[in-house]
Amino acid sequence: MRNFAITLRYDGTDFCGWQKQPGLRSVQETVEQAIVAITHEPALRLNASGRTDAGVHALAQVANFFSMTRLDCPTLLRAINAQLPPDVSALNLAEMPQSFDANKDACSKRYRYVVQRGAQPDPLLRRYAWYVRAHLDVTAMQEAARILLGRHDFSAFATAGSERLSPRRTVLAVDVYTCGSCLLIEVEADGFLYNMVRTIVGSLVEIGRGKWTTDRLQEVLFRRDRRLAGPTAPAQGLFLVKVCYDINPSLHLGKSVATTANPVSQNSPQDTTAVLSFLLDTCQQSPHGSALRSPSSEAQSDKNSAQI
């Protein structure tokens, strides 16, 4: 029995989310059906790094599955993609050690949220951004984001449905930066509570609008009361950018997804097509790098981490 890690990209608009649900179209079931069509193993199951909600997208979701197939990784990858619908693609396939678990072995995840600004909404971004008409004070949002760095109880940023044993998480980095007409908010942490990123975004937008002061976010974090936090931002603006693992890259038998890129130009793209290309790049960084980064993340970077 072989253990495979598969990296997936999908447009979450027309899915009920990652997890299988009776009578609904899920990413998990869609990909499982594509693999089973090749391996003829009805019991095959995908184990993802985490579940994305309905409408949430992924640039590089990681999952693993066990199979008896004798196909090599390049051949199996091409066959899987031939079976997948247009809104899902397999980017990478690698054979991993038997002990590898895409969920339990994840060291950190990074999410990107896209807020579209301007006098009028851009229809080409309606599936991938939250349109906010009001002027947003980006500097104030960047200052407030620093409060979230480090290990805290994030109960105030979790909506009903969180099934975690502990609400404490370590936020390793937060980036708030502009890209054309869009404002991008990226959060990297060792784990996330249910709707944690979307509630953080909703709270930061309240600060950007001038409705909250920076001190309000500190109070929300301290009080641990969801009723005090901002609204949950809409699902369509959220992207799972990458999942990192503390493993040796030489274990990969397939070609790994690129993890380096040229720094983003200070001149952000202005037209919608360029913005979309920018948003969908897993390797993009903010113009100033990860300017907001917790001290604990320095140790994290020293580890031999790799994106599957």
* Closest by CA position to 150, among listed 239, 65, 218: 218
User: Residue 30 above 80 pLDDT?
Assistant: yes
Q: What is the pLDDT of residues 241-281, one digit of tens each?
A: 999 998 754 443 333 332 223 322 334 444 555 566 666 66
What is the model's pLDDT at position 264?
29
Percent of the chain beyond pLDDT 90? 74
Look-up: residue for tokens 């949002």? 141
What is the model's pLDDT at position 182?
92
Among residues 11, 14, 53, 153, the one annotated as catalytic is: 53
Rounded CA-CA distance 274/268 in Å is: 9
What is the model's pLDDT at position 118?
87
Average pLDDT over residues 168-189: 94
Rounded CA-CA distance 215/217 in Å is: 5
Using CA of residue 255, residue 258, residue 260, residue 261, what is the dihedral sign?
positive
Residues 192/264, Cβ–Cβ less than 8 Å: no
235 phi and psi angles, rounded to 5 deg = -65, -35
| Residue 146 CB neighbour total at 10 angstroms | 16
What is the model's pLDDT at position 261?
31
Rounded CA-CA distance 186/264 in Å is: 15
Q: What is the pLDDT of residues 72-83, one digit of tens each?
A: 999 999 999 999
Q: For this structure, is 246 an active site residue?
A: no
Rounded CA-CA distance 147/141 in Å is: 10
What is the model's pLDDT at position 276?
67
Average pLDDT over residues 151-158: 95
Confidence at 157, pLDDT banded by 50, 70, 90: very high
Residues 82/76, Cβ–Cβ less than 8 Å: no
Using CA of residue 200, residue 139, residue 171, residue 249, what is the dihedral sign?
positive
Structural domains in the chain, sorted by start: 2-96 (3.30.70.580), 108-246+270-289 (3.30.70.660)
What is the model's pLDDT at position 246?
85
What is the model's pLDDT at position 159?
86
User: Residue 128 above 50 pLDDT?
Assistant: yes
Q: What is the pLDDT of residues 180-225, one digit of tens each?
A: 889 999 999 999 999 999 999 999 999 999 999 989 999 999 999 9
User: Residue 135 above 50 pLDDT?
Assistant: yes
What is the model's pLDDT at position 79?
97
User: Residue 282 above 90 pLDDT?
Assistant: no
Instruction: With residue 131 as reference, give the H or E element that holds it.
Output: strand 130-131
